[in-house]
């Protein structure tokens, strides 16, 4: 028993020494915070000089803040990327005459098709045969009235989870089904896919060339410019709210109201998907629209 208290005293000293060492290790090291502005005049902060695009490091005097921020609240920094991905996609085409070209595509990772490149088409259009390979029961989908050579038809609207053309891939692509397409191809490759790129057709070598959006050195988030994000938000929200208003306006016509509600829900799902994507890419609020702040007027 005579050795008990000395042992306790030694253990206590060792414990205090360990706690002191932990306290020293956990002391935050002083870090530099860099401040810079992009082409739009927006101010950015980062903790690493390497995260500032080279263009801005060369153009301006990057200021360094050495002091700790006064607030203890965490600050979310929206880091822009260095610029558009320099990689361009060069895709072989098949000429079918009269300046028209066919591109081979892959839908949802497993369904092949042949679509005619049409930069004048607002969306991707599929034949009924190809549409049924993607969604068996087209009758339950919302429909859009589309003008065709054979008159106005109700065209089912569906979502392609992915559409790949050569090495270029776009997720969440709007597409509609047209039962009156011409023979020899499965649909039209329109701007709901092509709008993610700068598009060029090399008619001498039968190539589709898809360049990144934006100018070289322009800040991007998730590979897209601020203008792209703003336009996507505006398109989805205006359609979501517009069709919601049409459903209310036609509430006495059950069939029409039900279709307008399905259309509104379709674009609401796209809006929510876009919003989640923007969160992951840390897109600044300047380029993100809130449906609460958007007003839609119908004729």
Q: Which of 26, 40, 36 is nearest to 65 (CA)?
A: 36
Cα 163 from Cα 54, distance rounded (Å): 33
What is the C-alpha separation between 178 and 122, in angstroms, rounded?
14
Could you give the count of Cα atoms lying within 13 Å of 258 in the half-sphere of its Cβ?
A: 5
Domain boundaries, the chain: 33-65, 89-211, 220-293
pTM value?
Answer: 0.69
Joined together, the tokens standing for residue 272 give 């929510």
What is the Cα–Cα distance from 56 to 80, expressed in whole angstroms?
A: 11
pLDDT tens per residue across all 299 residues of the chain: 444 444 434 344 443 444 344 333 433 334 456 666 777 766 666 666 666 777 666 665 555 544 444 444 444 445 555 444 457 899 999 999 888 999 999 999 999 999 999 999 989 999 999 999 999 899 999 999 887 766 788 899 999 999 999 999 999 999 999 988 777 899 999 999 999 999 999 999 999 999 988 887 888 998 899 999 999 999 999 999 999 999 999 999 999 999 999 999 999 999 999 999 999 999 999 999 988 887 776 65
The H or E element containing residue 15 is helix 4-25
Cβ distance 78 to 44 under 8 Å?
yes
Q: In this structure, what DSSP letter does residue 3 have?
A: T
What letter does residue 212 receive in the DSSP assignment?
Answer: P
Q: Which of 217, 159, 170, 160 is nearest to 195 (CA)?
A: 170
Architecture of the CATH domain 89-211: Beta Barrel (2.40)
Question: Contact at 8 Å (CB) between 221 and 81?
Answer: yes
């Amino acid at each position: 028993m005579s050795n008990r208290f000395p042992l306790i005293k030694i253990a206590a000293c060792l414990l205090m020494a360990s706690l002191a060492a932990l306290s020293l290790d956990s002391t935050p090291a002083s870090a530099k915070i860099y401040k810079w502005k992009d082409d739009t005049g927006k101010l950015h902060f980062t903790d690493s000089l390497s995260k500032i695009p080279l263009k801005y490091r060369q153009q301006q005097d990057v200021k360094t803040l050495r002091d700790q921020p006064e607030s203890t609240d965490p600050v979310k920094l929206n880091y822009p990327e260095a610029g558009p991905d320099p990689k361009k996609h060069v895709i072989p085409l098949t000429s079918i005459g009269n300046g028209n070209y066919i591109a081979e595509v892959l839908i949802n990772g497993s369904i092949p098709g042949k679509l005619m490149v049409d930069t004048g088409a607002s969306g991707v259009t599929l034949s009924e045969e190809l549409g049924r390979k993607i969604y068996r029961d087209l009758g339950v989908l919302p429909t859009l009235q589309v003008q065709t050579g054979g008159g106005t038809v109700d065209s089912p609207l569906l979502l392609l989870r992915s559409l790949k053309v050569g090495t270029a891939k776009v997720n969440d692509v709007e597409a509609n089904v047209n039962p009156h397409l011409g023979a020899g191809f499965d649909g039209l490759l329109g701007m709901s896919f092509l709008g993610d790129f700068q598009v060029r057709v090399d008619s001498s070598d039968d190539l589709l060339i898809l360049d990144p959006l934006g100018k070289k050195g322009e800040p991007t988030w998730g590979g897209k410019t601020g203008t792209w994000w703003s336009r996507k938000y505006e398109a989805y929200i205006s359609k979501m709210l517009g069709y919601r208003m049409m459903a209310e306006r036609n509430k006495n016509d059950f069939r029409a109201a039900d279709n307008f509600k399905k259309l509104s829900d379709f674009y609401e799902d796209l809006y929510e998907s876009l919003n989640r994507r923007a969160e992951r890419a840390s897109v600044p609020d300047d380029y993100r629209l809130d449906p609460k702040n958007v007003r839609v007027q119908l004729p």
